[in-house]
Amino acid sequence: MPTFKLDGLDVPFEAGDTIIKAAHRVGIDIPHYCWHPGLSVAANCRMCLVEIGPPPGRKPLMLDVFEWDRDRQDYVQQRKPKLQPACQQAAVEGLDVRSQTSDHAKRARAAVQELLLLNHPVDCPICDQAGECRLQDYWLEHGTRKKRMLDERVRKPKAVVFGPTIVYDAERCIVCTRCVRFVEEVVKDPCLAKRERGNLSEIVLSPGRKLDNAYTLMTEYVCPVGALTAQDFRFKARVWFLRSARSVCVGCATGCNDFADYDPRNQTVYRYRPRENMQVNRYWMCDEGMLDYQRIHQGRVETALVGNKPVAREKAIQKAAKLLDGVKPETLAVVLSAEHSNEDNYALLTLVQGKLGASQVFIAGRPDGEGDDVLRDKDKNPNRAGVVGLAGAAPHSVGDLFKAVAAGKVTHVVSLGSEAFGISADDFKAIGKVTRVALATHSGPLTAGADVVLPAGSWVESEGTFVNKKGLHQQAERVISAVGDARPAWKLVSELAAALGKSLDFKRVRDVQRAMLGGDAPVPTRPSEKPLGAPV
Ligand code: SF4
Ligand code: SF4
Ligand code: FES
C-alpha cells in the first residue's frame, strides 16, 4: 500500500483518498469542520490546513505576505508556505505533510478559530451542543487568544423552525454546509440552501419547503456546532452526564449500528446516535430509528400479571409452570419473536421445543411499514433472519396460530414479544379456548387476554445478538438495568424451566450464547471497539 508522511508518521492510503480521509482511517484527527467522510468535499472552513513539503526536486509553493513587525511598528514583507486543505488535497506517495508540527498550520487554525468566533454568541451555557461542540474543543486546542473585534457582533435569526424535528440558530452556524450537502447527497431532498456572503451567510429553507423527510435528525447530527438542534433532545440533558453503549437499532431489519446515550443516575436512555459501520448504515440512521429509544420507556410491562392482575414475578412463574406442566407436546405451541434477540428466542425454543417437546413453531413481530433506498427496510423487525435461522425452517406466521387453535390442534401457547404482524389485541382476546403464557416487553396484542404475562427486559436491558436482513450477526451491549420487575427474556425462560423441573443452566447471557454456538465455541466478539462517540 502506498504511504505518505504525516508529522513524521507513515500513513497508508487507498487510491482516491484525500490526506484527511487516509489520516482519519488510521485514527489521526486533522482538525476539521466542513469535511465529513460520508459527504462531498466543500473545503470551505479552512480548519484542516496543513503544510506540505515540495515534491523532490521542486521548489516549495510560497506566498508573499505582510506581517506586523512590533519592533518596527510597521508591516514587513515576508514569505510563507502556501497551506493546503487536507480535506481536498489528494494523498500522493511520498508526500511530506505537516499538521501538528507546522507552526504555519497552527497559526492558520488559530486564525480560522478566531474568525469563526467573531460573531458567535456566548450561548454555551444554554446550548445543547455544549460538551460535544467542535467550536469549544478546537478553541481549547487551537485558539490562541481572545477575539480582537470590538464592534457589536452581527445579529441573525434564532430558533428558526425548519420542520417538525429541527430548530436552526443562524448565529451559531459556521456555514460549513454539511447539512445542505447531507440532504442533497444522501437523502436526495435538496430542501436546504446557503444564502448571502461573508458574515451575513446563513442556511435557509428552499422556497416553499420544510425540512421534513425520513432523515431530518441526521442534519443535527452532522452539524459540528449547536446551530441545528433536535426538538426531541433540546434542553433535556447535558451531554457530560451521559454515558454511551454500543447498541443496534431495532427499528427495522437493516440493523443500523448506534450509540445509546443514557444517564446512569436515572437509568434513562436519552438518544441514539449512529455508529459507523460501512457494511450496514455507513454514518447514518433514519428518524424512526433515532427516535426509537422512546419505546424503551413507554408502554412497558413492568410487573408480572396473572389474569390481568399484577403479582410478584416469582408467583407468576409458578402459575405459568402449573399451566404448562403435563401439557401434551403435540398441542403445545411456541411463538418466537422477530423483535427479540437470538438469545431470548434460543432460550425459549430450547425450553418449549427442546424440553417440553412442542413441535409447532410460529413467528410474530411488528407489522411492515415504509422502506426506502437509503436505509429503511419495510420489515420493522430487527431479527426475523435470526429467528428463521434458529427455528431451522421458516416458522408459521402467527396468523396460522388462529387456524390451529380453531382446529383444536393447539391448546397451550408460550409466546415471546408484543406485536403480531398487525393482528389486533381484540383478535387475540377472541382467539378461543387456549391457555397463553406471554413473555413481553410491552403491552400489545400478544399480551392481550394472556393467562400469565411475564415482564421481559427490552433490547437495551440485556446483551443480545440480532441478525439483519443481510444475514449479519450483530451484538448489542446492555445499556441500562431492566425496568421494574422485568428481567431479560432468556432469564425468565430459565426461571420458568426451573419451576417446571427442567434445568436450562442459563445463569448469564454468555451461557445462552455458548449453548447457541454449540457448547465449547467461543462467545461472539463484542461490537467494534471504536472509541465511544468519536466525532467525524
Ligand atoms: S447549520 Fe450546522 S451543519 Fe448546517 S451549515 Fe450551519 S454549522 Fe454547518
Ligand atoms: S433504517 Fe432501520 S435500523 Fe436503521 S435507523 Fe432506521 S429503523 Fe433503525
Ligand atoms: S475541513 Fe473544512 S476546509 Fe477542510
For the Cβ of 286 lying below 6 angstroms from any atom of ligand 2, the answer is: yes
For the Cβ of 47 lying below 6 angstroms from any atom of ligand 3, the answer is: yes
Residue nearest to atom 1 of ligand 2 (CA): 376
Could you read off the pLDDT of 203-256 as tens digits, one per residue? 999 999 999 999 999 999 999 999 999 999 999 999 999 999 999 999 999 999
Residue 529: pLDDT band by 50, 70, 90 thresholds?
very low
The C-alpha atoms of residue 341 and residue 465 are separated, in whole angstroms, by 5
Instruction: Tell which atom from ligand 2 comes closest to the C-alpha of 281.
Output: 4
For the Cβ of 174 lying below 6 angstroms from any atom of ligand 1, the answer is: yes
The C-alpha atoms of residue 296 and residue 270 are separated, in whole angstroms, by 10
Q: Are 240 and 264 in contact (CB under 8 A)?
A: no
Could you read off the pLDDT of 420-467 as tens digits, one per residue? 999 999 999 888 889 999 999 999 999 999 999 999 999 999 999 999
Could you read off the pLDDT of 34-93 as tens digits, one per residue? 999 999 999 999 999 999 998 777 888 899 999 899 999 999 999 999 999 999 999 999
Start-to-end Cα distance in the chain = 24
The preferred substitution site among 123, 200, 218, 223 for testing ligand 1, maximizing ligand atoms within 8 Å of CB, is 223
Could you read off the pLDDT of 132-147 as tens digits, one per residue? 999 999 999 988 778 8
Q: What pLDDT score was predicted for residue 401?
A: 94
For the Cβ of 177 lying below 6 angstroms from any atom of ligand 1, the answer is: yes
For the Cβ of 214 lying below 6 angstroms from any atom of ligand 2, the answer is: no
Residue nearest to atom 2 of ligand 2 (CA): 252
Could you read off the pLDDT of 289-298 as tens digits, one per residue? 999 999 999 9
Q: Write down the mean pLDDT value for the chain.
A: 94
Q: How many C-beta neighbours within 10 Å does residue 131 have? A: 15
Handedness of CA 515, 517, 521, 526 (dihedral sign): negative
Residue 531: pLDDT band by 50, 70, 90 thresholds?
very low
For the Cβ of 24 lying below 6 angstroms from any atom of ligand 3, the answer is: no
For the Cβ of 452 lying below 6 angstroms from any atom of ligand 3, the answer is: no
* Ligand 1: centre distance to CA 194 (Å): 10
- Give yes or no for residue 533 having a pLDDT over 90: no
* Ligand 3: centre distance to CA 84 (Å): 10
The C-alpha atoms of residue 328 and residue 326 are separated, in whole angstroms, by 6
- Give yes or no for residue 534 having a pLDDT over 70: no
E runs forming strands in 62-210: 62-69, 74-81, 84-85, 96-98, 160-161, 166-168, 192-195, 202-205
Q: Which residue has the cell 451555557?
A: 125
- Give yes or no for residue 532 having a pLDDT over 50: no
- Cβ partners under 8 Å of residue 151, min gap 6: none
* Ligand 3: centre distance to CA 135 (Å): 14
User: Rounded to 5 degrees, what are φ and ψ at 9?
Assistant: -95, 145
Q: What pLDDT score was predicted for residue 217?
A: 98
Q: Which three cell numbers stand for residue 467?
A: 441478525
Q: pTM (2 decimals)?
A: 0.93
Mean pLDDT of 359-387: 97
Residue 268: pLDDT band by 50, 70, 90 thresholds?
very high
* Ligand 2: centre distance to CA 178 (Å): 21
Give the C-alpha distances (Å, rounded to integers) separating 364 from 336, 399, 409, 427: 6, 9, 19, 14
